[in-house]
Amino acid sequence: MNFLLHFIFIASFLLVYVIAIIILKPFRLHRKRPVSTIFLKTSYLIYLATFMLLAYLVLFFSITSEPTEEANEENILNVFTIFCIFAFFIPNIGIMIRRSIRSWRVAYNYMFCLINLVIAGGLIYYIIDIPWQFK
C-alpha cells in the first residue's frame, strides 16, 4: 500500500513537470532575446524540480517529533515555512507575468533567473539540512 502511494505521488509530480516543460518550451529560441529566455525557463525548471523534491520528502520522510519548549527550533521552523511560502509564489508569479513585461524584458529575465536559482539553492539547503527518516 505504501509503495502504491509513493508511486502515485512520483507519477503525479513527473506529470506536472512534463506539463511544465511542454507549456514552457524551454529550448525554443526567442528572436529578440534567446539567451535570457532560455536562462529564465531552465532556471524555473530547476526550481520546480527542487520544490517538488522537497514536497515529496516532506510528505513521506519528515520526522514527526514531540512538541518541545525550545524557541530556537520554533523560529527555524517559522523561517522554513515563510521561505517555502515565498518559494512557492514568487517564481510562479514571475514566470506567469513575463509576457506582460515589454520594455525591460531582458533584465527581467535575468533577474528572475537569479531569483529562481537562489530559491532553488535555498530549497537544496533545506533538503540537505533537514534530518529525513527514510524507511
pLDDT tens by residue, 33-88: 888 899 999 999 999 999 999 999 988 888 765 555 555 666 667 888 899 899 99
Q: What pTM did the predictor assign?
A: 0.86
pLDDT band at 19 (very low <50, low <70, confident <90, very high): very high
**What SS3 string covers the chain?**
CHHHHHHHHHHHHHHHHHHHHHHHCCCCCCCCCHHHHHHHHHHHHHHHHHHHHHHHHHHHHECCCCCCCCHHHHHHHHHHHHHHHHHHHHHHHHHHCHHHCCCCHHHHHHHHHHHHHHHHHHHHHHHHHCCECCC
pLDDT tens by residue, 104-133: 989 999 999 999 999 999 999 999 988 888
